[in-house]
Structure 1
Amino acid sequence: MFKKLVVPAALLAFSAQVQADEGQWQPYQLPQLKAELKKVGITIPAEKLADLSKHPMSAIVSTGGCSASFVSPEGLIVTNHHCAYDAIQRNSSAKKNYITDGFLAKTRAEELPAGASTRVYITDKVENVTKEVTAGLNDKMSGRERRDLIQSRIKKIIADCEQDKAYRCSVPSFHRGLEYYRIRQMMIRDVRLVYAPADMIGNYGGDIDNFEWPRHTGDFSFLRAYVGKDGRPADPSPENVPYKSKDFLVVSAEGLKNGDPILLAGYPGRTSRYKLPSEIRFARDTDYPLRAAEMLADIATIEAATKGNADDEVRYASVVKGINNRLKKTQGLIDGFARKDIAAIKDAQDAEFRNWLIGSSKNSAESKALLAKLDAVIAEDMALSQEELAYAVATNSDLFSSARSLYRLALEKEKPNAQREGGYQERDLAFIKGRLTRLEQSFLTKVDRARLTAGLTRYAKLAVHPAGLDALLPTAEAAAALYDKTQLTDTAKRLAWMEKDKAAFLQSDDAFIQLAVKLHDVGMSLENRRKEVDGNLDFIIPQYMQAVINWKKSQGKPVYPDANSTLRVTFGNVGSYSPRDGVTKGPFTTVEGIVEKHTGKDPFIAPAPLLQAIKEKRYGVFKDNVLGTVPVDFLSSADTTGGNSGSAVMNKRGELVGLNFDSTYESITKDWYFDPAITKAIHVDIRYMLWIMKEVDHADNVLKEMTIKYPK
């Protein structure tokens, strides 16, 4: 009944009458935005911004969850402090606490390994492969058949791309499955920590100030990419040399002023701006409240289990920080939905769209059937997600997760590599090993035991349970005893299971291996149902998105895909904002605000050398002539989300003037609905970074390595 429609990239052009601030644009779209770029004040030619082989885009990289950029020809990378937090934590102990004290390598030999799973990804090629992925899909297929065919084609496209082992390739979908692009990235796997300020600078204000304004946080750190002597990616080795970055960003200490244009490039994670009203209500009323409660409970469990032991607290510092960040964002979404009825706004838009679609269609009955099918599949998706969340709550254990992955790997290894599930192919083994090894720095038996037993208790109170799971789960008391009957806490023994076959798992007397085998069928049932639902979504959503794109184009509105962790560009202006009636907040904060916030109690403890430098007004060339002091953070109207952390904030000429690290609390709902009146991104000012490096941490070697343009 339904015909699969594929839209070529050219169709995604749109009227130039777009709002400058809104849009996370694919680089190839930028030439279509010449007028808007000029209006904002960007002077870099749009064609240059669209070319991934040219400056500045060739200097923008991903760290696999955060954004970053090269700032020297010797592989020096700048990103956020919280993006390097894992690397800082993994090299820390109670006696040598780089979280508290900061870290600076004065020589290359002193640089520390960032971790077994840390990578740097340099995007160098993007190709539209929609036809190769979607050809022949039809409504006669089951969702599972459709999903399996799509994934099979994607794996082949990736395998062809990865003939050169220097590259990691992916085929993400855009516009919820309307288009697919093959993205080739050089993957550097020897990454080292170069410099990170103390937590009292890099995380000043902590979770209290997270997503708030005004901010006074120096959220920056430096890493370095290393490769083999032949210039190609290599496993970590003392013989490796710094990567010779083809391009790097020049740093401008000239600064910005209110109203100045900015350009921001990075790898935003996920947005949901094309979701239906029903999906918003589900997130608002059911999903987000459940997830927020779970995160709160998990944090409380970890804190109780580590309380009073400095080493234990350091070991779980990165875990807790990550959960806290997700929690505050989730709570911000809940509060944002309460403050502004986005579902009602979407209701009106959805009704207008449906009327337009039916009214403009040559076959109104087919359009109505499309919408009915869409609503039905979305309902199935939401219902299944509740069961998936429940399964995660019941199995909240790093040790169980390891056992489950290992057993699944043994099963997948029985298949030819091309037929294995994504995540378990030969290309994924290093990542699996990295995750299993990483537990050395972020696992304690007593904490994992507490998390699992507490999760089981919470699971029992949930309204939705996956079919067949309850009868297989241990009681909380029995779960606690599992830890006395496992050897998976030992890294070498844990890694050894990567080489074992299915029979070894079935015969094992290891308690967690046995639990993984026992729960496997229920987990696979959820996974197979997810494939069926996703396969149906893969077919119906692209038809919906094509109609939405045509509708928006008819109104001259922006047509950009939701963020999906791929390279994007956004732009806007420095500016103040008004979060509520009668309140206006300026676009800059200054070092004097650090002194005002300083209480001597965590998280408002400013380092003594920093306070002394402010007291003595040792501002030098980093003093802003208008502000009369050193700026710390600033606001802009750029369209950002999670994953944009560490994104380069550039001036109109493409010079680095700051790093993106957060949004205002009122802006969090922009993941679902972009409201230009309240949406503001928060950036650390490059002048504060340089001032800290010079006056507080004396990171002269790092300063000398960068190319810095100082005010005349």
Structure 2
Amino acid sequence: MKRVFIIVFALLSASIARADEGMWLLSLLGKNIEQMQAQGCKLTAEDIYSVNQASLKDAIVGLGKVESPFWHFCSGEIISDKGLVLTNHHCGFDVIQKHSTLEHDYLTNGFWAYKHSDELPNPGITASILQRMEDVTDQVNAVLNDNMTEEERAEAIERISAQIVAKAVQGTDLRAQVKDMFEGNQFFLLVYKIYQDVRLVGAPPQSMGKFGGDTDNWVWPRHTADFSMMRIYTGPNGEPASYSPNNVPLKPRHHLPVSAKGVQDGDFAMIMGFPGTTDRFLTSFGLKETMDVTNDIRYKVRTEKLRVMKEGMDADPKTRIQYASKHAQCANYWKYSHEQNIALKNLNTMGEKEKIEREFTTWVNADPARQAKYGKVLSMIKEGYEAMHPYNEASSYMQEAALQGPEVPLFAFRVSNTLERALDAEKTPAPMKDMFMQAIRENAKAFFKDFNKDVDKNLMATLFKMYNDNVAAEWHPEVINMINKKYKGNYEKFAKELSDKSIFTDEARFNAFLEKPDMKKLQKDLGYITGKSIFETYQKLGGATNSMRNNIAKGDRLFVRGLMEMNPEKVWAPNANSTIRLTYGNVKSYKPRDAVFYDYYTTLTGVMEKEGPKGGEFEVPQQLKDLYNAKNFGRYGADNISVNFITNNDITGGNSGSPVINGYGELIGTAFDGNSEAMSGDIDFEENLQRCINLDTRYMLFIVDKMANAQNLIDEMTIVY
């Protein structure tokens, strides 16, 4: 009852301004620009997105990885004419951790480069900048017809997309993709310049960058300095190039001026970045599966996974560094899943979905032509999810407890596949064999750097037992059957034997094996047996559900097409899919469920007065306390400094690190989180409660200037007062 009262109170208190739902495609901003200008934007659509002249989009960066450069794990913004990129601390956390050792603990102490030669390279990290985008729906639809099966449709889309991409990048160093929108009803070509030399420049200590830890995640108010800095490098010719000491800082087409003016409630704010995924068109049938299967199982399994990792991290300083990033990544969506289910229930999202479906059914039944076209759509989706349910349960446990649980099975499977190819004398020439073996050695070196065999052993025993107890025997990998039979269900005994004997748990054993690789010996290794059996079962699960997934996909596509026909006057925004988007709104306060009397931003004064972040694990660094006590704020505040502020922008995962930009095109903040009361937002946007939590640029400048004494970085920014 108390929770319901708080949410109702929040709805009433936030009724002055409502958030704009939509993560908008840049090339279609002409449909939104008048509303944006009415809310305070002083720019034109051409100022934001232009192919022919420099615009805001040229300063927006999608951070990815070499193996998947089009899938952006975070966003960032260029804030100098030397390719300096600002993003979140949690976006840089993995690379900060990889550079950290007991001797150089950058997680605990922070890191700052005072000259370019001090900046740390990050092999495998990419930075993408959009060059242009184009609606290619007509080209794709020209090769499709309604008589195709879903497999035939997918193959035709893949073929025509490859042709469109090849033509778009011919004779250039650009990369491109064709992405579907609106569940396969529209298609867009996106052309990028992707840089492969991205170096770490600076980051505050995690006691600031991760202040509040898991306790404060998805919570407002916040006092978190969630930022880090990187730099994009190019070859001497200014074009993308792999890492080289001869590379030079990027000269961007545009960089964002950094505002030290501060923000006021009601100020216009827009966010540009690469949001990951939303599912706003999800039906009630899909929602039930998300809540009861995906979120519930993820939360249960990760609760145990986090416990095991934390025990190992607390016991040993080296393990704390090794598992810091793994723990943080696991914890993020552990809490997200839990909070999303709470929000979905409190906001009756199921009721809202069912209402939309009733309206859709009424509209369909009012016309025989619509009945013929859409009459079976909802039943098709419903039946698909019902058939999928037992497989989804097994797949969720497979993902969480086996594939993303202990690390040895995945490592063993990948290494074994590559090794088999390397040792196939008939099919693999000697130079390629050497290349494969070198790749194995490099991957192994990276793996063992952040691997603790005791932690992995405990994860295996705990999570494999959980899989056994919760998944039907039909979907037990052979390794689970072996443990139950040969080891009489003693998962600790099995995990210990694997840990003690497998070549995949000990770097010296592994390297010795590589000196004289033997496939017969490999096939008897418990790590190999475990990885192989897990992936065989995983593939069987995927194959068993292909037809069900195809039915759901077809139903979703027709459902969305019908919704758009039913509401032709509505300006629709497609689901997020890791392509660049813009969202706009205002700086806007609300009354959070656990702190009704906080104002719309919190200050450094508030941080100093707190003994700790609501039970979180970090204290305020003494250096920061000293700066506060001396009132050494410099240009960034007379008596106090804003730490974080909130806006009503529509964002999701992947937007982390995105710039918050005022109506003049100046950087006022960096987005880093959402609020737990509206964690339903990825599925159903809550226009009164939805909030984006942002780092104030003044606090970032204060830390870089006064705490890090990185005058070199201050000097290269364009700061506006």
Q: What TM-score, normalized to structure 2? A: 0.85
Q: Give the drift of 1:177.
A: 1.8
Q: Give the drift of 1:34.
A: 2.2
Q: Give the drift of 1:382.
A: 4.6
- The DSSP-based 3-state class of the residue aligned with 2:194 is strand
1:623 paired with 2:637, answer yes
- The DSSP-based 3-state class of the residue aligned with 1:217 is coil
The code of the aligned residue for 1:553 comes to: P
Query: 127, 131, 147: which is aligned to 1:124?
Result: 131
Q: Give the drift of 1:438.
A: 4.0
Change in 2 beyond 3 A, CA 1:481/1:173: farther
Q: Give the drift of 1:530.
A: 4.7
- The DSSP-based 3-state class of the residue aligned with 2:695 is strand
Q: What is the rounded CA distance, in whole Å, between the counterparts of 1:430 and 1:657 in structure 2? A: 46
Q: What is the rounded CA distance, in whole Å, between the counterparts of 1:158 and 1:506 in structure 2? A: 45
Q: Give the drift of 1:697.
A: 1.6
Please give the per-residue CA displacement for 1:221-248, whole angstroms capped at 9, x wherever unaligned: 1001122222222222222221222211
Change in 2 beyond 3 A, CA 1:466/1:590: farther
Query: 170, 178, 185: which is aligned to 2:177?
Result: 170
Change in 2 beyond 3 A, CA 1:394/1:323: closer
1:407–1:516 contact (8 Å) kept in structure 2 = no
- The DSSP-based 3-state class of the residue aligned with 2:327 is helix
Query: 607, 617, 638: which is aligned to 2:621?
Result: 607
Q: What is the rounded CA distance, in whole Å, between the counterparts of 2:512 and 2:182 in structure 1? A: 42
1:264–1:570 contact (8 Å) kept in structure 2 = yes
- The DSSP-based 3-state class of the residue aligned with 2:90 is coil
Query: 115, 122, 128: which is aligned to 1:107?
Result: 115
Q: What is the rounded CA distance, in whole Å, between the counterparts of 1:199 and 1:224 in structure 2? A: 20
Please give the per-residue CA displacement for 1:296-345, whole angstroms capped at 9, x wherever unaligned: 11001112233321011110000101111111211110211232211012
Give the match for residue 498 of structure 2.
Answer: 482
- The DSSP-based 3-state class of the residue aligned with 2:567 is helix
Match runs of 1:637-648 below 5 Å: 637-648=648-659
Query: 413, 427, 434: which is aligned to 1:404?
Result: 413
Give the match for residue 58 of structure 1.
Answer: 58
Give the match for residue 536 of structure 1.
Answer: 551
- The DSSP-based 3-state class of the residue aligned with 2:91 is coil
Q: Give the drift of 1:138.
A: 5.4
Change in 2 beyond 3 A, CA 1:160/1:21: same
The code of the aligned residue for 1:402 comes to: F
Q: What is the rounded CA distance, in whole Å, between the counterparts of 1:681 and 1:429 in structure 2? A: 46
Change in 2 beyond 3 A, CA 1:299/1:597: same
Q: Give the drift of 1:411.
A: 9.0
Give the match for residue 431 of structure 2.
Answer: none
Q: Give the drift of 1:604.
A: 4.0
Please give the per-residue CA displacement for 1:474-532, whole angstroms capped at 9, x wherever unaligned: 4233344233444345779989999x99x959974444334444444433222334544
Q: What is the rounded CA distance, in whole Å, between the counterparts of 2:151 and 2:345 in structure 1? A: 37
Q: What is the rounded CA distance, in whole Å, between the counterparts of 1:131 and 1:492 in structure 2? A: 57
Q: Give the drift of 1:101.
A: 0.7
Give the match for residue 9 of structure 1.
Answer: none
Change in 2 beyond 3 A, CA 1:489/1:243: farther
Name structure 1 gaps, 5 residues minimum.
1-17, 415-427
Q: What is the rounded CA distance, in whole Å, between the counterparts of 2:252 and 2:539 in structure 1? A: 43
Q: What TM-score, normalized to structure 1? A: 0.86
Please give the per-residue CA displacement for 1:576-601, whole angstroms capped at 9, x wherever unaligned: 11345993542111110111113499
1:178–1:546 contact (8 Å) kept in structure 2 = yes
Please give the per-residue CA displacement for 1:324-368, whole angstroms capped at 9, x wherever unaligned: 111121111021123221101211122112211222452424422
The code of the aligned residue for 2:693 comes to: I
2:19–2:687 contact (8 Å) kept in structure 1 = no
Match runs of 1:445-524 below 5 Å: 445-464=453-472, 467=475, 469=477, 473-475=481-483, 476=491, 477-489=493-505, 508-524=523-539
Q: What is the rounded CA distance, in whole Å, between the counterparts of 1:37 and 1:495 in structure 2? A: 60
The code of the aligned residue for 1:651 comes to: N
Give the match for residue 669 of structure 1.
Answer: 680
Give the match for residue 708 of structure 2.
Answer: 697
Q: What is the rounded CA distance, in whole Å, between the counterparts of 1:385 and 1:612 in structure 2? A: 53
Aligned CA-pair RMSD: 3.4
Give the match for residue 243 of structure 1.
Answer: 250
- The DSSP-based 3-state class of the residue aligned with 1:265 is strand
Query: 534, 540, 549: which is aligned to 1:525?
Result: 540
Name structure 2 gaps, 5 residues minimum.
1-16, 65-72, 424-435, 484-490
Change in 2 beyond 3 A, CA 1:517/1:629: closer
Q: What is the rounded CA distance, in whole Å, between the counterparts of 1:149 and 1:435 in structure 2? A: 36
Please give the per-residue CA displacement for 1:401-425, whole angstroms capped at 9, x wherever unaligned: 13333456689999xxxxxxxxxxx
Q: Percent identity?
A: 29
State the number of aligned residues. Answer: 674
Q: Give the drift of 1:51.
A: 2.2
Q: What is the rounded CA distance, in whole Å, between the counterparts of 1:334 and 1:672 in structure 2? A: 11
Q: What is the rounded CA distance, in whole Å, between the counterparts of 1:506 and 1:166 in structure 2? A: 45
Farther-moved stretch of structure 1 (309-318 vs 582-591): 582-591
Change in 2 beyond 3 A, CA 1:536/1:154: farther
Query: 81, 100, 104: which is aligned to 1:73?
Result: 81
Give the match for residue 281 of structure 1.
Answer: 288
Query: 350, 371, 395: which is aligned to 1:364?
Result: 371
The code of the aligned residue for 2:653 comes to: G
1:143–1:531 contact (8 Å) kept in structure 2 = no
Q: What is the rounded CA distance, in whole Å, between the counterparts of 1:550 and 1:112 in structure 2? A: 52
- The DSSP-based 3-state class of the residue aligned with 1:618 is coil
